[in-house]
Amino acid sequence: MEFRIADTFTDSLSRLTGAEQKAVKTTAFDLQLDPTGRGLHFHKLDRARDPNFWSVRVNTDVRLIVHKTATSVLLCYVGHHDAAYSWAERRRIERHPTTGAAQLVELPERVDHHPATAIRQPTAVMVPERLFAGISDDTLLAYGVPSEWLGAVGQATEDTLFDIADHLPQEAAEALLNLATGGTPAIPPSVPATADPFSHPDAQRRFRVLTNVEELERALDFPWEKWAVFLHPAQRQLVERSFTGPARVSGSAGTGKTIVALHRAVILARRHPEARVLLTTFSEALANALKTRLQYLIGNEPDISGRIEVHPVIGIAYEMYSAAFGQPNIALSALLRELLGQAAAQLDGQPFTERFLFGEWSDVVDARQLKSWEEYRDVARLGRKTRIGGKQRETLWSIFEHVRAELVRRKVVTRSDVFGRVTEQIAAGGKRVFDFAVVDEAQDVGIAELRFLAAIGSSRPDGLFLAGDLGQRIFQQPFSWKSLGVDIRGRSYALRINYRTSHQIRSHADRLLPQEVADVDGNSESRRGTISVFNGVEPTVETFADPDQETAAIGKWLADRVAQGVPPHEIGVFVRANSQLRRARAAVKKSGTAAVELSDKIETAQGRISIGTMHLAKGLEFRAVAVIACDDEVIPLQERIEKVADEADLEDVYNTERHLLYVACTRARDHLLVTGVDPASEFLEDLKG
């Protein structure tokens, strides 16, 4: 007998008290061990519309709602007696007549309609446009709309769509939202009439077969982390697919790229019992967040967790370098600038500024580990917009050659040297520490890092899997992945369903970015067709005459959110740079709450509002976010503009500053406030639309 769990069960479990959850888990484990339910108190629900719904007694008040047949038991819901019975009486599980997917359908309430003559409306009143008036019932059924909801969907308007979508199965809701925003949804696959309706890809996003106690334990320990148990079909396809070479999953903020990366690492470890998998990203803070989520996913499977290592990419490179060559002595940027200046001073009349030299060294020579004049002469300087001729390259190389020699003499190395030495060791047939590499936030991985990761995984099928969003690139200049052996053409896929951010917030944030972004190799990422699966309130974008007015307004906004029931630890306040943090502190103090300042560990605190720079917003999400102090010369940051080596690089500075504001805004789930002081950032006008 199969034992299944529904996503509605995990949702309902999270709303119970800790003591109640403990009792529910005990009953669920007993039921899994003996699905026939011997020793448990089963009660047939006579008023339920589905004859297979039963209640199971947990204690004097709490009841499980299960769907029980001769071949399966499905945990559907848990709640207090009356609420649980009411939930069951309004739902049933059925096979969709067109798609063949098993659906848990909430039955629409019956509404008594009065004759048209009973209420007379003035002829001047505009009748809302029906969104799906021209779409046939057969088409709606093909999208997974339950037959019981065809009438309500046919009457849906812009004002009622999200309310209706909240009651529909996910595939139907997503299709309707896609249609309403001008998209053309894909028709879900149908299955033969003889096929198990629970095996349909759309059914698997809400029902999961649990084959052992460990799987049930994970599902019940972290019921609010639904991604650990249930996946969207598009996500599952990318997680389970086999690739002949490097592959990339993209998608705008909130579409689940990190979730796919986590599940991908786990499935690789399961498919290859002897393999070691590296799960990595560009920063320690994000690596720590991945570690926490990995524990949700496989915490009680030591064999799997022991073969997946989570590290920031620089951290694992340091470990491998130290094991092979000894602890590296890293050259600080101040030393590099000093050496570049000394070498340049020896050449009378050389035209290059200190900024240009440091940029050319960092982004081209050091990043690509160029060790000879011939390598520098022939390199394509992608990402460096200032053109230089052959004679200029000769002059520059004499400077860089001097720096290389000095680094060797002083026995120091750069970060790129660390990656370069380890990469060379792997390429030369050195001991392979990892068999597969899965990379999150890949858009911010640099040249030396990507070459290192390619050496680990690009030589075998499924060896390298990358997740990222070009629209969130905030640290790296563009460069060619293909030139480093990471060719993702034909193996690049986009996620379109946004689970984290409301329709209103996503729509406003998307105004900061172009509809389509392309990388240096010509692979494009489109934001068209992305939809949010829930509705919310319109973001607020305001400018003020002075910082005091801004502080008072932000303080009131934060206090209002707390008064509405948003816990302080689910609120974030972000600024562009450390110099604006005092304004964040003042605003939180004005709200009457306390603040905790974020660090690289990305730790929030119960009862406190999190404040930090926009760069620290990466990897976080909050119910409410205030992005403040968005003044002119703050974003885009004037300091960065002034450091640009040449005018041609300004475009990239502006792009990454836009990306940074986009990242901060898309940390918000339900509420977003963006403020600045006159003259405010030009980006705020884009946000307003």
Confidence (pLDDT) at 380? 79
Q: Are residues 212 and 69 in the same domain?
A: yes
Owner of token pair 């796919």 = 260
**DSSP character string of 342-409:** HHHHTSTT----HHHHHHHIIIIIITTT--SHHHHHH---TT--S---HHHHHHHHHHHHHHHHHHHH
114, 174, 247, 602 from 497: Cα distances, Å: 39, 8, 20, 26
Mean residue pLDDT across the chain: 91
**DSSP character string of 136-189:** -HHHHHHTT--GGGHHHHHT--TTTHHHHHTTS-HHHHHHHHHHHTT--PPPPP
For the record, the structure tokens of 167 come out as: 């009651």
Q: Give me Rg for the CA atoms of the chain.
A: 28
DSSP annotation of 200 = S
Q: Are residues 666 and 552 in the same domain?
A: yes
- CA angle 346/352/356 to nearest 5° reads 120
Interhelix angle 390-409/333-345, nearest 10 degrees: 130
- Is position 523 within any domain? no
3-state secondary structure of 37: coil
Q: Calculate what percentage of the chain has a pLDDT beyond 70.
A: 95
User: One-letter amino acid identity for 527?
Assistant: R
- Among 526-540, 541-555, 599-613, 639-653, which range has the highest average pLDDT? 541-555
User: One-letter amino acid identity for 638?
Assistant: Q
Q: Could you report the per-residue pLDDT of 150-173, keeping only the tens digit for each?
A: 999 999 999 899 999 999 999 999
Instruction: Average the pLDDT over 623-635 and give the result.
Output: 97
* Number of neighbouring beta carbons within 10 Å of residue 535: 15
370, 387, 480, 499, 648 from 366: Cα distances, Å: 6, 19, 16, 40, 21
Q: Are residues 634 and 549 in the same domain?
A: yes
Cα dihedral sign, 509-512-514-520:
negative
Q: Are residues 377 and 482 in the same domain?
A: no
Q: Are residues 679 and 562 in the same domain?
A: yes
Q: Are residues 18 and 145 in the same domain?
A: no
pLDDT over threshold 80, residue 454: yes
For the record, the structure tokens of 137 come out as: 């019932």
Residue 624 pLDDT level (bands cut at 50, 70, 90): very high
Is residue 385 within 8 Å of 649, Cβ to Cβ? yes
Confidence (pLDDT) at 120? 38
* Number of neighbouring beta carbons within 10 Å of residue 499: 17
Instruction: Average the pLDDT over 450-464 and give the result.
Output: 92
Confidence (pLDDT) at 300? 76
Calculated CA dihedral for residues 248, 249, 254, 258, nearest 10 degrees? -70
Q: Calculate what percentage of the chain has a pLDDT beyond 90.
A: 72
Instruction: Please give the backbone phi and psi of residue 278, each rounded to the nearest 5 degrees, phi first.
Output: -100, 120
- Is position 187 within any domain? no
d(CA 593, CA 498): 31
Q: Are residues 542 and 674 in the same domain?
A: yes
Confidence (pLDDT) at 69? 93
Q: How far apart are the first and last CA of the chain?
A: 56
Confidence (pLDDT) at 601? 65
In SS3 terms, 62-76 reads as EEEEEEECCCEEEEE
- Which H/E stretch holds residue 234? helix 233-240
- Is position 526 within any domain? no
Q: Could you report the per-residue pLDDT of 232-280, keeping only the tens digit for each?
A: 999 999 999 999 999 999 999 999 999 999 999 999 999 999 999 999 9
The CATH number linked to 487 is 3.40.50.300
244, 384, 671 from 500: Cα distances, Å: 32, 36, 12
- Is position 152 within any domain? yes
Owner of token pair 């899997």 = 465
**DSSP character string of 443-508:** GG--HHHHHHHHHHHTTSTT-EEEE--GGG--S-----SGGGT---TT-EEE--EESSS-HHHHHH
362, 610, 617, 668 from 602: Cα distances, Å: 28, 10, 8, 16
Q: Could you report the per-residue pLDDT of 206-225, keeping only the tens digit for each?
A: 999 998 888 898 888 877 78
d(CA 464, CA 455): 9
pTM: 0.89
Confidence (pLDDT) at 122? 41
Q: Could you report the per-residue pLDDT of 417-440, keeping only the tens digit for each?
A: 999 999 999 988 877 789 999 999
- Is position 671 within any domain? yes
d(CA 172, CA 147): 11
Q: Are residues 216 and 238 in the same domain?
A: no
Q: Could you report the per-residue pLDDT of 127-154, keeping only the tens digit for each?
A: 678 999 989 999 999 999 999 999 999 9
Q: Are residues 22 and 97 in the same domain?
A: yes
Q: Are residues 661 and 572 in the same domain?
A: yes
For residue 38, give every residue at least 6 positions away whose Cβ sits within 8 Å of its Cβ, in sequence order, or none.
none
pLDDT over threshold 50, residue 113: no
Asked if the peptide bond before residue 636 counts as cis, ω within 30 degrees of 0, the response is yes
pLDDT over threshold 90, residue 114: no
CA-wise closest residue to 500 among 232, 689, 277, 688: 232
Which of the listed residues 508, 528, 553 is the one where a domain comes to its end? Answer: 508
Containing structural domain, residue 386: 333-412
Owner of token pair 């029902």 = 207
Asked if the peptide bond before residue 169 counts as cis, ω within 30 degrees of 0, the response is no
Is residue 274 within 8 Å of 456, Cβ to Cβ? no
Is residue 616 within 8 Å of 583, Cβ to Cβ? no
Which of the listed residues 412, 441, 469 is the one where a domain comes to its end? Answer: 412
pLDDT over threshold 50, residue 683: yes
The structural domain count of the chain equals: 5
d(CA 310, CA 284): 10
Q: Could you report the per-residue pLDDT of 56-92, keeping only the tens digit for each?
A: 999 999 999 999 999 999 999 999 999 999 999 999 9
Residue 189 pLDDT level (bands cut at 50, 70, 90): confident
Q: Are residues 134 and 6 in the same domain?
A: no
pLDDT over threshold 70, residue 8: yes
d(CA 197, CA 562): 44
- Which H/E stretch holds residue 317? helix 313-325
Helices (H) and strands (E) in the chain, counts: 26, 24
User: One-letter amino acid identity for 406?
Assistant: E
pLDDT over threshold 60, residue 610: yes
- Is position 524 within any domain? no
DSSP annotation of 276 = -
pLDDT over threshold 80, residue 348: yes
Which of the listed residues 412, 443, 471 is the one where a domain comes to its end? Answer: 412
Confidence (pLDDT) at 648? 59
User: One-letter amino acid identity for 104?
Assistant: L
Interhelix angle 503-510/650-665, nearest 10 degrees: 170
Instruction: Average the pLDDT over 113-125 and give the result.
Output: 39
d(CA 95, CA 255): 28
- Is position 141 within any domain? yes
Q: Are residues 61 and 31 in the same domain?
A: yes
Q: Could you report the per-residue pLDDT of 47-65, keeping only the tens digit for each?
A: 999 999 999 999 999 999 9
pLDDT over threshold 60, residue 185: yes
Is residue 78 within 8 Å of 9, Cβ to Cβ? yes
Residue 406 pLDDT level (bands cut at 50, 70, 90): very high
- Is position 379 within any domain? yes
